[in-house]
Amino acid sequence: MSTNLNTSNATLSGGDHADSRKETILERLNKRNKERQNYLDVKLEQRNKENVELEGTDYFSQTFTERVRTIEEQLESIASVAADRPSPNTNIADLTRAFADITLQVQELQRYLTTSTMFLTDFKIKACQSTLNELSNSCEEYRLRLIPKKKFGFSGKKVAPKVLVNPKVMKTSADKVDMPEKSKIDNNSFTWTLSNREDEYICLEGEALNNKDITISNLKNCFVELRGHAGSVQISHASNCTFLCGPIARSLFAEHCERTTLALACQQLRLHSSSICRIYLHVTCRAIIEDCNQIEVGAYNYEYATMDADFQSAGLDRTHNNYSDIADFNWLSPDVPSPNWTLLRDTPAPAWNELRKQKQLKTTTL
């Protein structure tokens, strides 16, 4: 009798053990199936994302190529028509308008490239930018060849002597702009917004700045503030300067900057041929550097009373900042970080107000 009970208990125990093993196996199978399904879901999401990006890239390439071809055909058409004109002075006004229209098309194509950089490779961006540069050069070559230059001659008109003015602290209001330098480019007068300044504090705001294309050249030891929403900003040849810029609707292009600090918010930043610069950046597309070294980049930290309104007027998203996404056209290796720029870490934010006061006091006493 005892033997039968032991046999029954052993049978029950064996059955429980078998059930437990079966449950364990089922749990493992279920877990494996879930992991496999999660893996498939992730791969499907990645594939869909890649397809969307590929479609976006294909559409961009097709559109960009078509627009370039259209502009090239317009240039060839203008050259063909101009070759048949009976007199050098015939249809000069029409030619001028045609070239102005083509210039606008090239600028619009540049904006299209700028807004598409988020899904384009660095190689693609550089190739398209090279195409745009060649297109701009072709346009200027046609313009110079087809529109005769104005004759230049000396006149007996006396030139008034320059008046030396020495207010070192200059603040530009809506009805007053810095006395600019003018240079001749393709028979049209080009005017720098600011040029050839040294040891000055300069502030542009209001109507002198908002929605305008601001151009700055040849500044040394200057402290410049742009309080408002400029359309675009171009800086060329700046040494030991500080630029504090409010939201810029389109792009900031800077070249030949040395030992210079910039605080700026824009859609795209392009920095060329510059060194030992510190940039406090808010960029909604991306920043591009070329032929640069010793560039430090941190988050945008400039503030003034109407900053929020200017962000809105410029059409920039204040919550979206790609300041750490820097494309170095001289360093296209995706696996190794570029040695030409670094992110600012554990560096205290500049005291802009104190730096401004120091510059104002220094320039006032010069």
Give the range of the structural domain holding residue 135, as residue numbers without chain letter.
Answer: 47-146
Per-residue pLDDT tens listing for the chain (366 residues):
555 555 555 555 555 666 677 677 777 777 776 776 776 666 555 555 555 444 578 888 888 999 999 998 888 888 777 666 545 555 677 777 888 888 888 888 887 887 777 778 878 888 888 888 888 888 888 888 877 665 544 444 444 433 333 334 444 433 334 433 433 334 344 578 999 999 999 999 988 899 998 999 999 999 999 999 999 999 999 999 999 999 999 889 999 999 999 999 998 899 999 999 999 999 988 899 999 999 999 999 999 999 999 999 999 999 999 999 898 988 877 788 899 999 998 888 888 888 888 877 665 443
Number of domains, the chain: 2
- Strands of 61-187 (E only): list them: 169-172, 182-185
User: What pLDDT was estimated at residue 161?
Assistant: 37
DSSP code for 206: G
Q: Indicate whether 119 and 187 sit together in one domain.
A: no
Q: Indicate whether 202 and 346 sit together in one domain.
A: yes
Q: Indicate whether 113 and 209 sit together in one domain.
A: no
63, part of any domain: yes
DSSP 7-19: HHHHHHHHHHHHH
User: What pLDDT was estimated at residue 362?
Assistant: 62
User: What pLDDT was estimated at residue 152?
Assistant: 45
> Which CATH number characterizes residue 82's domain?
1.20.58.1250
Q: Indicate whether 133 and 188 sit together in one domain.
A: no
Task: Name the residue among 210, 222, 118 with its Cα closest to residue 173.
Answer: 210
User: What pLDDT was estimated at residue 108?
Assistant: 83
- 150-184 residues labelled b (16+ CB within 10 A) or e (exposed): eeeeeeeeeeeeeeeeeebbbebeeeebbeeeeee
- Four-CA torsion 238, 244, 248, 252, nearest 10 degrees: 20
pTM, to two decimals: 0.55
By DSSP bridging, strand 242-247 and strand 261-272 are parallel
Q: Indicate whether 54 and 185 sit together in one domain.
A: no
